[in-house]
Amino acid sequence: MTDQDTVPVSLDDTAAATPPPASPARTSGLIGKDYKAPSNDDQAAAPAEDGASASGDSTNEGDPAMTTGQKLASWWENKAKPGLAAFSSDSRRRMTVWKQSWNERAGKATKTIDLDLQPRFDLLRSLQSEYKTLCEVAKSMAKHVDSSAKTHEAIGTRLDSLSKVEDSNVQGLFQTQGQFMIVYSRNLMGLFEAITFFQTQMSKILSQLEATLKVVRGYESVRLEYDGYRVDYEKQKAADRNVEVAEAKFLDAYTKFQSSREDTMQCLKDFDSDKAKALKQQFTGLINAYAMFQSGNQTALDEALEAMKSAAEAASQPMVTTTTQESSPSTAAAAAAADEADTTAASS
């Protein structure tokens, strides 16, 4: 063996006990042949590094000093977890409403019926159909009167023109009839304006009625939620189970149900009062307009039309129903539930 092949051997125990440098834990992003388990030194150093990062004062997700794990944890606690909890609670409530509605239609669940409100709800739905028909008929009548006024005006204009070319024996007849037709046409236009204004006011009442029905649908959705939790509570109580959670949900739904009932009753009361006042004013004005039209008094007809408009302007303030419902949190929730109830009914 030559001198170049000689291998020096160290007899120092300390040097022999020194471990070789630790290789990286992983040389690629995949666990495969190149994966190497971290050494004991690396595992001991990792918590220290994480602790140093976690001990920082910054908790902002956008802080560059935060690790990816800390950012994910912060996002989960501050954004994802609260949003998921709210979504889960709303989903359970929607499912309770849908399940109760389905069971009621199938005859598998009891239903709370308010003997004071239910007849009024049925009446409102019937009135909605009747008011729609009234508005359509009034609109058709206004078109008819307008067409008649234009036809009479055209006839009067032709008669007046003929009075200028006919001989003296019939010239006066044509002129008199022509003037009568023109005056009658003007009276018809006044009646047309009165009928059109009346139809506009009826459309406003119809819109307010539909807004009231939306509040009613919100109340019915809250009632379904109450009945759903009530049925669950009664079932668990009959089965001798732990009813604390079910009872808490039932009592909370009952409180919401009573609040929605009071708001709905106030809404119906305000709508009936404002509707009666508006109808009295408009019917009185319309009858006066017809009376003045039949008498041929165009000046009085114009005054009757102005009286109708003045009465409508005096009552043009927003209905108390709308302001009351918007200011009530329980009814605002009921209005949102009404849209949900419409969606549920459509899907069913």
Tell me: the pLDDT tens digits for 109-138? Answer: 888 899 999 999 999 999 999 999 999 999
3-state secondary structure of 13: helix
322: closest CA among 181, 242, 209, 243?
209
Most confident of 100-104, 192-196, 264-268, 341-345: 264-268
The string of pLDDT tens digits covering residues 207-216 is 999 999 999 9
pLDDT tens, residue by residue, 212-236:
999 999 999 999 999 999 998 998 8
pLDDT of residue 74: 74
- pLDDT for res 322: 40
Question: Residues with Cβ < 8 Å from 148, sequence gap 6 or more?
Answer: 188
Mean pLDDT within 233-252: 87
Q: Which amino acid is at 23?
A: S
Task: For CA atoms 268, 273, 274, 275, give the dihedral sign.
Answer: positive
Cα distance between residue 313 and residue 308, in whole Å:
9
Asked whether 61 and 74 are in contact (CB, 8 A), the reply is: yes
Rounded-to-integer distance, Cα 102 and Cα 9, Å: 89
Give the residue from 309, 324, 316, 315 showing the smallest Cα distance to 277.
315
CA–CA distance, 247 with 242 (Å, rounded to integer) = 9
Measured in degrees and rounded to the nearest 5, phi and psi for residue 315 equal -105, 15
On whether the CB atoms of residues 149 and 189 are closer than 8 A, the answer is yes
- Amino acid (one-letter) located at 156: G
pLDDT confidence bin for 28, thresholds 50/70/90: very low
Q: Is a pLDDT exceeding 60 seen at residue 140?
A: yes
| Better-scored residue on pLDDT, 16 or 266 | 266
Mean pLDDT (whole number) for 10-33: 45
R_g over Cα of the chain: 41
Supply the pLDDT for residue 217.
94
The string of pLDDT tens digits covering residues 284-326 is 888 888 888 887 777 877 787 787 777 777 666 544 444 333 4
Mind spelling out the 3-state secondary structure of 123-180? HHHHHHHHHHHHHHHHHHHHHHHHHHHHHHHHHHHHHHHHHCCCCHHHHHHHHHHHHH
Amino acid 138: pLDDT: 93
What is the SS3 assignment for 34? coil
Q: How confident is the model at residue 82 (pLDDT cuts 50, 70, 90)?
A: low
What is the pTM (predicted TM-score) of this model?
0.62
